[in-house]
Amino acid sequence: MHGKQQRKGTDIPYIAHLLSVAALVIEAGGSEDTAIAALLHDTVEDQGGTPMLDRIRDRFGVDVADIVQACGDTEITPKPPWRERKVAYLDGIAHKSEQARLVSLADKVHNASSILSDHQQVGDKVWDRFNVGRDETLWYYRALANAFRTPTPSHLWQRLDDTVRALESLPATATLRTS
């Protein structure tokens, strides 16, 4: 479903993100269904909404489909406004199943880590990849770290929190690394 898609602002095939999220889930003790859901976690949101969710349910079962559904912030096309989706997503974290929280947390860990890594390469240009810019992106990741702390603190939560702290500590006018 993500065959020709690339990570925002990069030449990295999107599959790298999906495999990384699945690896984090497996390393954290996730089940086979949870790992499959990690591979599919963006499919409904980015590749077809409810009809795609029905295909996932038919092919991989109800458990996988439920995890995937819980990981997205909308099945509606066109998507509602960014802030509205993110606030609703944040409000729902504590009510997700343990498996859905694991996939979602692994997704956010990889995304935040990618932002930090990319910042080392391109500096503040990394924030141009996001429709909402630096401040809103940092607000969201801090809110995510805070929301994931409550249900089940884990090494993945600590990794997210540490990464968000590193992002927050970046100077707003950092320069491009030339080495």
**CATH assignment of the domain containing 157:** 1.10.3210.10
pLDDT at 175: 45
179: amino acid identity, one letter = S
137 in a structural domain: yes
136: amino acid identity, one letter = E
The residue range of the domain holding 58 is 15-169
> Structurally, how many domains does the chain consist of?
1
91 in a structural domain: yes
10 in a structural domain: no
Write down the catalytic residue from 27, 32, 42, 46.
46
86 in a structural domain: yes
pLDDT at 179: 40
49 in a structural domain: yes
Question: Model-level pTM greater than 0.85?
Answer: yes
Write down the catalytic residue from 42, 45, 66, 161.
45
CA distance 63 to 48: 19
pLDDT at 176: 45
Residues 9/126, Cβ–Cβ less than 8 Å: yes
Residues 70/96, Cβ–Cβ less than 8 Å: yes
Q: Is 45 a catalytic residue?
A: yes
CA 149 to chain centre: 16
| DSSP-derived secondary structure for 20-65 | HHHHHHHHTT--HHHHHHHHHTTHHHHHTHHHHHHHHHHHH-HHHH
Flag residues of the chain having pLDDT under 50: 174-179
Per-residue pLDDT reduced to its tens digit, 80-112: 899 999 999 999 999 999 999 999 999 999 999
pLDDT at 46: 63
43 in a structural domain: yes
pLDDT at 6: 55
E-only strand ranges, the chain: none
Q: Is 11 a catalytic residue?
A: no
pLDDT at 151: 61
pLDDT at 1: 59
Q: Please name the residue that has the structure tokens 């607000």.
A: 139
